[in-house]
Amino acid sequence: MFKLLREDIKNIFHEDPAARSWLEVLFCYPGLHAVVFHRFAHKLWKLKLYFFARFLSHISRFLTGIEIHPGAKIGRRLFIDHGMGVVIGETAEVGDDVLIYKGVLLGGTSLEKKKRHPTVGNNVVLGSNAIVLGAITIGDNARVGAASVVTHDVPANATAVGVPARVRTGYSDKEIEKLEHAKLPDPITDVMRFVLEEQIKSEKKIKQIIEDFRKQLSGN
């Protein structure tokens, strides 16, 4: 448990430029507190002490503003930055080295007692107020833009932006920085830009054809 805590603190220093001391991180980061609470609650849940697990998670929610169901499976080095309003459902699975900003929802879309919450891969970034719904998969190294609504799978190394979210693939970590949400690509804007560029090219070709035709007429 202490090894995991050291990992979490070290990861926060890596992910958050505002972190100044281990004392500040240990006592003033609700995302860290929520993860620690969840580890204890999840152990109780696996022992089928459901009431005590839920009660502990309820206390965590009251203290941190972050709600993680004790049944959720959380990987290592999860960083919930400014985590107020984050909700992670019962059957959600979160991989290693995931970065979650405030207001993110990993929610379910079914009333049946089955897998109904998202599975989030490793090294994923979920932007502020992103909503991810259903038993879908967010692939490794994917990025979900702020305020996006995701209801379908997102492939590895892809970005999902918009309402509903649209997916673009082929972006590396160097091309899309974790903190630069304003630079995430918008697939619709990209398509419109492509169409406009093609239209300009077509207009230039038509003008050139007309000019060549006029030259031929004047030559005759």
Supply the pLDDT for residue 189: 66
Average pLDDT over residues 189-218: 79
Supply the pLDDT for residue 181: 59
Confidence bin at 106 (pLDDT 50/70/90): very high
Q: What would the two tokens of residue 195 be?
A: 């169409």
pLDDT mean across residues, the chain: 88
Contact (CB, 8 A) for 145 and 181:
yes
d(Cα 7, Cα 96) in Å, to the nearest integer?
11
Is pLDDT larger for residue 190 or for residue 34?
A: 34
Supply the pLDDT for residue 9: 92
| Token pair 């459902």 in the structure block, residue | 89
Handedness of CA 11, 67, 184, 194 (dihedral sign): positive
Given a cut of 90, whether residue 165 has pLDDT beyond it is: no
Average pLDDT over residues 44-62: 97
Is CATH 2.160.10.10 what the domain over 2-185 is classified as, yes or no? Answer: yes
Average pLDDT over residues 183-194: 65
Confidence bin at 208 (pLDDT 50/70/90): confident
- Per-residue pLDDT tens over the stretch 130-140: 999 999 999 99
d(Cα 33, Cα 3) in Å, to the nearest integer?
15
Supply the pLDDT for residue 26: 92
d(Cα 146, Cα 104) in Å, to the nearest integer?
9
Average pLDDT over residues 25-50: 96
Supply the pLDDT for residue 130: 95
Find all residues with CB under 8 Å of 139, minimum gap 6, and list them. Answer: 121, 124, 153, 154, 155, 156, 157, 158
Q: Do the bridges between strand 79-81 and strand 99-101 make them parallel or antiparallel, or are there none, so unpaired?
A: parallel
